[in-house]
Structure 1
């Protein structure tokens, strides 16, 4: 790297002579106008009624998961290493669903809608943020996912996607 020579007194005087007649610019009080945002459109599913995909989820079903640590699941017949691949970040979620603050019923509807949307758009990986809180949704969401036929596997999300408050889900996509 080249070292810059030090500034001499002659250089300083040359600069002062060059800017001697400059006047400060007045500050505008006019703020630039913000572009108007278009309202977000709700995602509509083709040929689907809102409750048509809820039959997969029973609140009576209880899966067997560890009380602490990472949640990990692979559907029978799927590669048993899929959850580990999700954990390592080999799959990046194309869509994120945040269930914070939702009731169980609303969360179930949103989850069903997300799974139908992923199927419609041919998306194979999603992140579902259920949060920690009281742990109600943290216990319910895995039980609902196990029941859905398009869920291949899921695992507790890596740190960048929410860790213990989220799940990465790998889905079947139509051929």
Structure 2
């Protein structure tokens, strides 16, 4: 059953019962000679800006460009001692050169105070940055603290195809709180070895 709407009451329709007769007449006399106001307000019109939205710098990293590190992949379970790694098929003496401090890092990443997720993102960003800048040696300072990053960082690094080797840093670069990395760049292996920065 539909509900019927009551008829609208206008000023000309008069009162609905005799009780309101006096009030209605008083109101009609009071508003006699008036006329409705015209709309004098102008609604704002949204104007489109001709300026383009600022674009992000070309070297800014997006999630799609970052290398995905798995937390399940674990080779280095014990990180208290010296860590050393050389990618399969690469020169086994590279870790020794890193250990002796023969190679100076061209960039340093400090992960102190970061969560594991932040550190993972920053590490992927570092590797992307080194590839863009053609840097083949870097230092990652993970600190000691509770040992969470000290354990995760080497296990993340061995998953990246551009990491040729890493070793616990010499004392001048942080010792057990840091790793020196040797990275691939877009050159032949022989050229990379010749171009390694000497300390």
Q: Normalising by the residue count of structure 1, what TM-score does the alignment of the two structures yield?
A: 0.71
| C-alpha contact (below 8 Å) 1:72/1:155 kept by paired residues | yes
Three-state SS of the structure 2 residue aligned to 1:147 is: coil
In the alignment, which of 88, 91, 97 is matched to residue 76 of structure 1?
88
Q: Give the CA deviation at 1:46.
A: 3.5
SS at match of 2:128: helix
Q: Which residue matches 2:179?
A: 167
Residues 103-150 of structure 1 deviation map (CA, whole Å, 9 limit, x = unaligned) = 000000000000000000000000000000000000000000000000
What is the CA RMSD across the aligned residues, in angstroms? 1.8
CA distance in 1, matches of 2:95, 2:88: 13
Offset of residue 52 of structure 1: 2.2
The number of residue pairs the alignment matches comes to 132
Q: In the alignment, what sits opposite 1:104?
A: 116
State the structure with more CA Rg. Answer: 2
For 2:60 and 2:149, locate their aligned partners in 1 and report how far apart those are by CA, in whole Å: 29
Given that 1:94 and 1:123 are in contact with CA atoms closer than 8 Å, whether structure 2 keeps it comes out as yes
* Alignment equivalent of 2:73, drawn from 61, 78, 82: 61
Three-state SS of the structure 2 residue aligned to 1:169 is strand
2:78·2:151 contact (CA, 8 Å) conserved in 1?
Answer: no
| Consecutive unaligned residues in structure 1, runs of 5 or more | 1-43
Aligned-pair distance for 1:54? Answer: 2.8
Q: 1:121 to 1:130 in 2, by over 3 A?
A: same
Task: Specify which of 26, 43, 52 is matched with residue 65 of structure 2.
Answer: 52
How far the C-alpha of 1:89 sits from its partner, in A, is 1.1
Distance in 1 between residues matched to 2:58 and 2:83, nearest whole Å: 30
Which residue of the other structure, out of 82, 87, 96, is the alignment partner of 2:99?
87
**CA shift for structure 1 position 47:** 7.9
Measure how far apart 1:68 and its partner are. Answer: 3.4
1:142 aligns with 2:181: no
Quote the Cα distance in structure 2 between the aligned partners of 1:51 and 1:108. Answer: 14
What is aligned with 1:5? none
Please list every run of 5 or more consecutive structure 2 residues that lacks an aligned counterpart in the other structure.
1-56, 188-199
> TM-score when scaled to structure 2?
0.62
Decide whether the 8 Å contact of 1:98 with 1:128 is kept in 2. Answer: yes
